[in-house]
Amino acid sequence: MPQLTTSEDFLLAAKHAEIAALQQLQVNCRLVGRVTELIHELQRERGLSNIYLVSDGQRYAQQRADELEVTGIAQKHFRQTLTKLSESDSLSHSTRLLSSLAFVIQCLEGIDALRAQVTARKVSATENTALYSRLITGLLTVIFEAADIADDPEITRALVALFNFVQGKEYAGQERAMGLIGFTSGSFSNTLQDKVHELLDAQERCFGIFTEFSASVPKARWHQLESCEATAELERLRKMIERYRTEDALPTSISEVWYEVATRRIDEMQSIELDMTGDLMKLCETKINSAEEDLRLHREHLKDLAEVSEPPESPLGLLPESTLNSDSNLTPGVNVKLARSISDLVQGQAERLQRISSELAEARQALDERKLIDKAKGLLIQSKGITEEEAYRHLRQAAMDSNKRIVEVAMNVISVAGMLTSN
């Protein structure tokens, strides 16, 4: 790196650093695109595998076999992106992202063994769902960490919207998987009914945050999807699950209707996802081009000003006249237009950075709140020996009882745990 000695050097170096950061962010966003692609195919594979398992291999065997090939292609694309990622500098300060990727790779290394167990029907549909969901959760964490390390507010907002949309879609995928277990077997236990209800609540939370941070077009498409006939049909099937009683008889053929309706909705979600990831890459490209153009203009502006012939004046001339004594001795050799121009550029950059910092803090709020809620859930799981779903229900009920937001209750849990630990 060349030695930086003047304000011009540092000003241009700052712009170079901004471009490099945006380029690294672009690499991470490309990874996010591949992650969403892989998640979608794993969701389909999970659903088809559940039908295959619950029907004792009588249904969807060929569809599952076809999907395994498609998922294999998505895995290959993901691996290729990891190779490009390792060749860049974008992971140099991303410890949590690296850890998330390590977890995902470990899960993927065992996916063929799980598929063989499914083919041989050596695993239950419930276990199968849990194992696939574990891998998908790891992939979702990659998206979350990519959003968490982004330092551009507009890109961060786009990543927050995308993460919550993909998370909501995963809950929709789990709902499809749980519904398949019940409809294919012809019955829904109380536990299964409760699980489906929890997944509906979880979807509502995620899509609520998505609509808060999303751009207008994906948001409009989502509202259109929620009001379409396929969603209305899905809602009627959800009512069947909610009203099911042990003495009721459910035709197992409904499982295929459930799968088709739920899949139609999830596939449309993927279409929205693809548009969002495409827009994200375009946004990165636009910002990189804009930063490079700013750098070019800065260079030209400074070069033009440096060549201006003008009587020398002291930098003290940049101060308000009221602060200067008319008899002050001026230091010769400074071009006042150049000095003022650099001062304007530095001040403009400082104001821009301040604005970006405020916008970034606002965009990161949803991510920070999620961290607090996850930490509180972890503390409740550890102290009470309950599941993650039960921990979230505990937080939600406490929030409703106290008329507070869940994140406020989470902060209280963390605070109390901290006090108990210190005593």
Is the pLDDT at 327 greater than 50, yes or no?
no
| pLDDT recorded at residue 346 | 63
104 against 4, higher pLDDT: 104
Q: Which of 195, 133, 145, 126 is nearest to 169 (CA)?
A: 133
What is the pLDDT, as a whole number, of residue 51?
85
Cα-flanking dihedrals φ and ψ of residue 319, to 5°? -80, 155
What's the Cα-to-Cα distance from 108 to each of 74, 102, 103, 104, 316, rounded to whole Å? 12, 10, 9, 6, 64
pLDDT tens, 162-173? 999 999 999 999
Q: List the one residue out of 189, 199, 336, 332 whose CA is nearest residue 266.
A: 199
- Residue of 170, 198, 222 lying closest to 44 (CA atoms): 170
pLDDT digits (tens, 9 = 90+) for 102-125: 999 999 999 999 999 999 999 999
- Tell me the pLDDT tens digit for each residue of 227-263: 998 899 999 999 999 999 988 888 888 988 998 999 9
Q: The tokens of 24 are what?
A: 């690294």
pLDDT of 6 > 90? The answer is: no
C-alpha 296: how far from chain center: 33
Q: Does 142 score more than 60 pLDDT?
A: yes
pLDDT of amino acid 5 = 64
Mean pLDDT of 50-55: 88
Question: Quick one: 39 exposed, middle or buried, by C-beta within 10 A (0-12, 13-18, 19+)?
Answer: buried
420 vs 196, more confident: 196
pLDDT of residue 348: 65
Q: How confident is the model at residue 341 (pLDDT cuts 50, 70, 90)?
A: low
- Hey, which of 127-136, 296-305, 387-396 has the most confident mean pLDDT? 127-136
Q: Residue range 209-217: average pLDDT?
A: 92
Q: What is the pLDDT of residue 314?
A: 45
CA distance linking residue 355 with residue 421, whole number of Å: 39
| pLDDT grade for 269, boundaries at 50, 70 and 90 | very high
Residue 328 has pLDDT above 50, yes or no: no
Q: Quick one: what percent of the chain has pLDDT higher than 90?
A: 42
The pLDDT assigned to 237 comes to 95
CA distance 117 to 302: 67
Res 214: pLDDT: 92
> Residue 111 contacts by C-beta under 8 Å, 6 or more apart in sequence?
135
The rounded distance, in Å, linking the Cα atoms of 49 and 54 is: 9
pLDDT band at 281 (very low <50, low <70, confident <90, very high): very high
Measured CA to CA, the distance from residue 132 to residue 45 in angstroms comes to 9
More confident residue, 111 or 304: 111
Question: Average pLDDT of 344-373?
Answer: 73
Would you say residue 33 has pLDDT above 60?
A: yes
What is the model's pTM?
A: 0.79
- Work out the average pLDDT over 19-38: 89
Confidence of residue 422 (pLDDT cuts 50, 70, 90): low
Q: Does the pLDDT value for residue 210 go beyond 90? A: yes
Q: What is the mean pLDDT of the chain?
A: 83
